[in-house]
């Protein structure tokens, strides 16, 4: 399996992370990519540079106001004269009878769901590069590759049409799916990250052509807390094309595979032409965010089960944070996929 990657992700190096009132260094660090690259090297995967697709694929998913905000945010922030080293909102309007703000501080609050997506001088460039990685992988699959892995950083599945959150700015998995829709009538996004893919769900919630499925730690006690419950099934034309499978905190390999089998049945019933896997590796028993307890052999089983769906597949990197086993987990899931194909 080929893997798409660019060094341009390094321009995004966030520092701020607020956890239960305590400020810490974020777990979404450039070193994540180094460990994932080690996993690709160990699996002998060929690295491919992304092509530049420009704003078009992003504009299929994100609003014009949001893209404009992200592209201009840092310059507007520094022009304030007394601003901090990262952009972190101090307001988060609920948007009931609200007016879209013109001030950068107001826009920052409007376009961020939480404080876990600090914007720095290189964030926009890195986020755009990540979408090019995802779209390149999708285009390769459209052109005949059976499956391609996209090493996207920053990740994307918490990003809504017009809001950043949870380390995410542009929704790479959603953008890949929208690109695949140019060829395929129906596409599935299967999110195996430990966190619910709330942004992806929100983007496609009223659409019948993209089925969003998320297997994740139960949000009753885990981020994002207010999205990701089993009763959330879509709305309007999209009713029935969203499936959430929340799992008890600490669920291990066997429980995870049972959930994945439920997802398999739903995917087969939908009969898509292509699959996007939002490949979080943070369900690992060794991940610092401690939600589920999947082992390295368990990731191999996950890869095998996904491969058996027999669909053209784009695997887009989402979460998976700094642990000694991060690279090995990537090697394992991709090896499992290749074995079952």
Name residues whose C-beta falls within 8 Å of residue 16's C-beta, 6 or more positions apart in sequence: 23, 26, 86, 88, 115, 118
The closest alpha carbon to 9, from 111, 108, 150, 141, belongs to 150
Task: Provide φ and ψ at 8, rounded to 5°.
Answer: -65, -15
Omega within 30 of 0 (cis) for the link into 143: no
- Contact between 328 and 281 under an 8 Å Cβ cutoff? The reply is no
Rounded to 5°, the CA angle 274-275-280 comes to 165
The single residue of 9, 45, 62, 158 carrying the catalytic annotation is: 158
Residue 245 to residue 152: CA distance in whole angstroms: 24
The closest alpha carbon to 296, from 321, 319, 260, 326, belongs to 326
For this structure, is 231 an active site residue?
no
What residues act catalytically? 158
């Amino acid at each position: 399996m080929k893997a798409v990657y660019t060094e341009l992700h390094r321009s995004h190096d966030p520092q701020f992370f607020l956890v239960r009132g305590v400020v810490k260094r974020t777990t979404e660090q450039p070193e994540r990519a180094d460990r994932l690259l080690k996993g690709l090297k160990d699996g002998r995967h060929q690295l491919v540079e992304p092509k530049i697709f420009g704003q078009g694929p992003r504009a299929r998913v994100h609003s014009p106001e949001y893209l404009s905000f992200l592209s201009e945010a840092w310059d507007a922030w520094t022009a304030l004269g007394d601003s901090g080293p990262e952009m972190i909102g101090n307001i988060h309007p609920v948007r009931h009878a609200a007016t879209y703000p013109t001030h950068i501080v107001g826009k920052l609050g409007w376009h961020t769901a939480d404080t876990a997506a600090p914007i720095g001088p290189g964030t926009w460039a890195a986020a755009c590069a990540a979408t090019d990685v995802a779209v390149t992988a999708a285009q390769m699959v459209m052109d005949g590759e059976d499956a391609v892995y996209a090493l996207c950083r920053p990740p994307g599945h918490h990003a809504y049409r017009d809001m950043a959150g949870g380390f995410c700015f542009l929704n790479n998995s959603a953008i890949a799916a929208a690109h695949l829709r140019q060829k395929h009538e129906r596409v599935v996004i299967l999110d195996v990250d430990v966190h619910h893919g709330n942004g992806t769900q929100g983007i496609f919630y009223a659409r019948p052509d993209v089925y969003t499925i998320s297997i994740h730690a139960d949000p009753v006690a885990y981020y994002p807390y207010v999205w990701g419950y089993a009763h959330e099934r879509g709305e309007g034309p999209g009713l029935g094309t969203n499936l959430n499978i929340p799992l008890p905190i600490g669920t291990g390999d066997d429980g995870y595979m049972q959930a994945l089998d439920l997802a398999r049945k739903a995917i087969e019933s939908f009969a898509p032409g292509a699959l996007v896997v939002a490949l979080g590796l943070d369900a690992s028993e060794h991940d610092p965010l401690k939600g589920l307890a999947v082992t390295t052999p368990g990731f191999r089983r996950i890869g095998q089960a996904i491969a058996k769906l027999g669909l053209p597949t784009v695997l887009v990197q989402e979460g998976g944070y700094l642990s000694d086993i991060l690279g090995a987990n990537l090697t394992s899931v991709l090896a499992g996929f290749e074995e079952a194909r």
